[in-house]
Structure 1
Amino acid sequence: MFKYLKNDLPASIVVFFVALPLCLGIALASGAPLFSGLIAGIVGGIVVGALSGSQIGVSGPAAGLAAIVLTAIGALGSYENFLVAVVLGGVIQVIFGVLKAGVIGYYFPSSVIKGMLTGIGIIIILKQIPHFFGYDADPEGDFAFTQVDGENTFSEILNSFKQISLGSTLVAVIGLAILILWEKVLSKKAKIFQLIQGPLVAVVFGIIFYIMFGSTDTFAIKTENLVSVPIPEDASSFLAQFSFPNFEVITRGDVLLTAFTIALVASLETLLCVEATDKLDPQKRVTPTNRELFAQGTGNIISGMIGGLPITQVIVRSSANIQSGGKTKMSAIIHGFFLLISVILIPRLLNKIPLSVLASILLLVGYKLAKPSTFKAMYAAGWKQFVPFIVTIVGIVMTDLLVGIGLGLGVGIVVILYKSYQNSHFLHIEDKSNGVHKIKMTLAEEVTFFNKGAILKELDSLPKDTHLTLDVRKTRYLDNDILEILDDFREKAKQRQIHITLLSERGEVENPDSYIEFFRLRPKTA
């Protein structure tokens, strides 16, 4: 775990700066105490990072759960009641892991996963534009299209152009220039520039700028344009920020329903993120999904017990970790300790970081997820890949993560059904001499009820006086619906003078009396 510390330590610093505002923003968007987001980030880094089998995934509070949390806190009556649902949701996730439910993540098409990554990249870019210009009406980490104030993603961007803060914008532009210069030029010049990451330099510049110029009239940076970490006065006030579950409501039906909802949505988001981060991993390591569900469940139990938000593996932090050179889970664990130490020792210093400089970091993360080359590659792969990819992106940007993935998956299933319809059989016309049509129909390896329409269409179009050879030697599965179609066609064939020869692994059979009986007697290996 310590072999790649020279890679993991700089990456953990970048993930820390990305995670800090997101933890606070997601808590704000969820209607929960700000400190609850930090708790979830700390537990997600240290506890889940240690238990997880993912080497590059980073866990913490997820934007995709913000709407569920916001609704649930109001419906359950208090935040303490909601924490019971978080704990129970963690228990359910552990059960999912024991039952080996992690395999679900493997059933999502690659085009949908790539669409999810690209869609999230576009959302990150769109959501950070207002913060880039110092317009922070929308909470950091609120990735939903429609906002609680009636605005949406695009209207917030238009509003930001009307209220540009010169100081915040200048910090963001210089910060972005530092990041690009560091990555494209300086990191290739000397090892010191690889050890000290560009994002750290950009953040330090942002703090220095605020201290020197942030209070002047020309470059004023408002308090709401800065990171806002809760500042405890002493140890007792720090401990007072923790909340604890009210287990008296543990038997309430609405609490149990919320717990199951959290477990289901958090597990699905985690599995999708695992699939996506494994694709981004340069070493192409495969994360054990059942172990991941167990780790996430354990993290949610602990987070809920001490007042934290629900936890999932998060693609924004995970991709930032990968792009910053993180090699092992130590980067996730160290970032959790950075969060813990910073909120205890240096909250006042953290509150001098302009959100605009963090926006510049996230803009670069978003661009790397949504590169134009990705669109070109998916287009070149053909419409069967490109259409689900685009639908997933549009769905995620215009609605939310799970709806977008659901739309992409739905389109992917339609494409599969269409191709299945096309590929159920192969027709070959051998001879038309002497007025007799010789036609050979070769069935695919697997023929199901999805293929009924295509096969019916071909059989009904056969002309009179046809000699049909039906080749099933390579067919390993024939649905009963198809056998019934063949049996029905056998009767029609007699009326239309169509002679049928069945080619199977048992040899040739002329005009079989019953296809259902014939295939029922086939060897099990076939």
Structure 2
Amino acid sequence: MTMSSPASAPAATSTFGRDFLASIVVFLVALPLCMGISIASGLPPTTGIITGIVGGIIVAAISGQPLQVSGPAAGLTVLVYMLVQEHGAAMLGTIVLFAGLIQIVAGYMKLGQWFRAVSPAVIHGMLAGIGVLIFASQFHVMFDGKPLGSGVQNLIGIPAAFLDAIRGGDARQTAGLVGLLTIVTIVGWSSYAPKSLKLVPAPLVGVVVAVVAAKFLGLDAIKFVDVPSNIWEWSLQMYPTTDKLFRITEPAILIGAISIAFIASAETLLCATAVDQMHTGPRTKYDKELFAQGVGNSICGVLGVLPMTGVIIRSGANVAAGAQTKWSAILHGVWLLLLVAFFPAVLKLIPLSALAAVLVYTGYKLAYPKIVPTLRTYGWAEVAIYAITVITIVLTNLLDGVLVGLGLSLLKLVYAFSHLEITKEEGPDNRVDLHLKGSATLVRLPMLASALEALKPGANVHVHIGDLDYIDHACIDLLSNWDRQHGLSGGSLSIEWDALKNKYQQRSGNAYERAAAKESAAGAAAAANPA
């Protein structure tokens, strides 16, 4: 992707033209995704568009990352759909409102950096699991059907839905062909479009082709997007009333708000990290960005519409289109507002199967395990956490999957700082070689002490630390004290004290560099994920 270099304080006259053009591109990318994500969440298409308007006009104005674009995200689709099914669409506004308030408090308390500490394996596992669920549910919608229920049911039901559409020869088959045409167009445009036209987003081209085909072939039997004449009609019915607000004390409602706040924050800040790598301008102010997202979600909650996050596909398009300031994201919200305010009839021309097809393709891109080779460089444990997170999300739900992934990450951390292997080899001349492997920390100090105390008095002990990943001060102190005591028995201890000291200092001093390298890899991988 082309690197963009916005100036620190560019003159409006020198940047507005580029921001204006970039805003058009982002608007065209956002439009089909806003509607498609709304429908996949079980809500009218205008709810996603209103979220996009809030994310553009309001959140972009106070954002901590000026080139990041916020709006409804595929990453929250499954969770929102679950909440709507369990508590009704009328409670969504209350849940999103409190999720936003949680984000505001977290940003005010400067917790933004902590959200970046979520393991990339869990984040990408979450996205992949969401991708599988979106693909499975929207496959049925692409044939003008409805999702069957759970993720497993939707997956198992795919072959039957496909065969029923083929055998039926009715409107469902026609809808499926429109969806297939949309996907083929997206893939073809992404692969073979002239470089000069690459800025025109492939999903939009796919939807336009579907609209033209439906219009000229007279495909009136298939379903089309239903848009109310008044876009605020939904909000007037779904805003949080006093009775709804008091239901936040119910455990299920509160957990829903916390879940949205956590997942939206993690996805937003991961996206911001990826955007930082796409340009050379100002770096993200994470706490400010978290606060801005909280303001946006609070407003979306009051309006009773979809929650928002920072979204990578729109942000990436923004940078690639040459955006220089926050005005590009702001203007894209203005274009969304003008479209639904003055040209709502245009949206009614869009086949529902075309929007579902866009999400089927998006789900496939999210689910494809392209991150596995990167995770493998950090060990098979990271790959296992990724895979288990995906499987748990598909078999249960999004929240359980994320919690399982986080739990496994913590267990891996505990294991890494508590696992120590000690191998003893006895040689001639009363020589004993001790090989240490893993982490020698306070947790394993009794084990190391027992191994040392079991050695014969007067032995010539050689301690090898080449395979030692980390050693803390407590274990260094143990070796030093044991050396003195062992010397009184006529024995000796040979250990590379300078190397041991250097290893301890190097592990501490390079912690930031290793974390930065890990974050860089995760951010680069996230940049390839549509959402």
SS at structure 2 position matched to 1:158: helix
Aligned counterparts of 1:443 and 1:197: Cα–Cα separation in 2: 52
Instruction: Pick one of 419, 423, 444 that aligns with 1:451.
Output: 444
Q: Shift of the alpha carbon at 1:460? A: 6.7
CA, structure 1 residues 185+121, in 2 after alignment: closer, same or farther (shift >3 Å)? same
Residues 265-304 of structure 1 mapped to structure 2, 5 A cutoff: 265-276=260-271, 278-279=273-274, 283=278, 287-304=284-301
Q: Is the 8 A contact 1:296 1:312 kept in 2?
A: yes
Q: Shift of the alpha carbon at 1:176? A: 2.4
SS at structure 2 position matched to 1:407: helix
Q: How many residues align?
A: 469
CA, structure 1 residues 240+453, in 2 after alignment: closer, same or farther (shift >3 Å)? closer
Determine whether 1:145 maps to 2:157: no
Instruction: Pick one of 119, 132, 144 that aligns with 1:135.
Output: 144
Specify the alignment match of 1:154 in structure 2: 156
Aligned counterparts of 2:101 and 2:255: Cα–Cα separation in 1: 10
Q: Shift of the alpha carbon at 1:168? A: 1.6
**CA displacement 1:359-397 (0-9 Å, x = unmatched):** 333344344444464444544664133222222222333
Specify the alignment match of 2:414 in structure 1: 417
| Unaligned runs of at least 5 residues, structure 2 | 1-14, 167-171, 501-531
Q: Shift of the alpha carbon at 1:292? A: 1.9
Aligned counterparts of 1:116 and 1:272: Cα–Cα separation in 2: 10
CA, structure 1 residues 331+458, in 2 after alignment: closer, same or farther (shift >3 Å)? farther
Determine whether 1:203 maps to 2:236: no
Instruction: Pick one of 34, 52, 60 that aligns with 1:49.
Output: 60
Instruction: Pick one of 431, 440, 446 that aligns with 1:437.
Output: 431
Specify the alignment match of 1:231 in structure 2: 229
Q: Shift of the alpha carbon at 1:83? A: 4.4
Q: Shift of the alpha carbon at 1:89? A: 4.1
Determine whether 1:387 maps to 2:387: no
Instruction: Pick one of 349, 352, 357 that aligns with 2:349.
Output: 352
Aligned counterparts of 1:327 and 1:463: Cα–Cα separation in 2: 72
Residues 140-219 of structure 1 mapped to structure 2, 5 A cutoff: 145=151, 151-155=153-157, 158-164=160-166, 165-188=172-195, 191=196, 193-215=197-219
Aligned counterparts of 1:432 and 1:460: Cα–Cα separation in 2: 18
SS at structure 1 position matched to 2:399: helix
Specify the alignment match of 1:524 in structure 2: none
| Unaligned runs of at least 5 residues, structure 1 | 508-526
Using the size of structure 2 for normalisation, the TM-score is 0.71
SS at structure 2 position matched to 1:138: coil
SS at structure 1 position matched to 2:179: helix
- Greater alpha carbon shift after TM alignment, 239-248 vs 99-108: 239-248
SS at structure 2 position matched to 1:163: helix
SS at structure 1 position matched to 2:403: helix
One-letter code of the match for 1:70?
A: V
Instruction: Pick one of 106, 127, 132 that aligns with 2:116.
Output: 106
Q: Shift of the alpha carbon at 1:15? A: 1.7
Q: Shift of the alpha carbon at 1:153? A: 3.8
Q: Shift of the alpha carbon at 1:287? A: 3.3
Aligned counterparts of 2:59 and 2:30: Cα–Cα separation in 1: 15
Q: Shift of the alpha carbon at 1:245? A: 3.5
Using the size of structure 1 for normalisation, the TM-score is 0.71
Aligned Cα root-mean-square deviation (Å): 4.6
Q: Is the 8 A contact 2:268 2:310 kept in 1?
A: yes
SS at structure 1 position matched to 2:136: helix
CA, structure 1 residues 40+208, in 2 after alignment: closer, same or farther (shift >3 Å)? same
Specify the alignment match of 2:399 in structure 1: 402
Determine whether 1:66 maps to 2:86: no
Q: Shift of the alpha carbon at 1:437? A: 2.7
Specify the alignment match of 1:510 in structure 2: none
Specify the alignment match of 1:312 in structure 2: 308
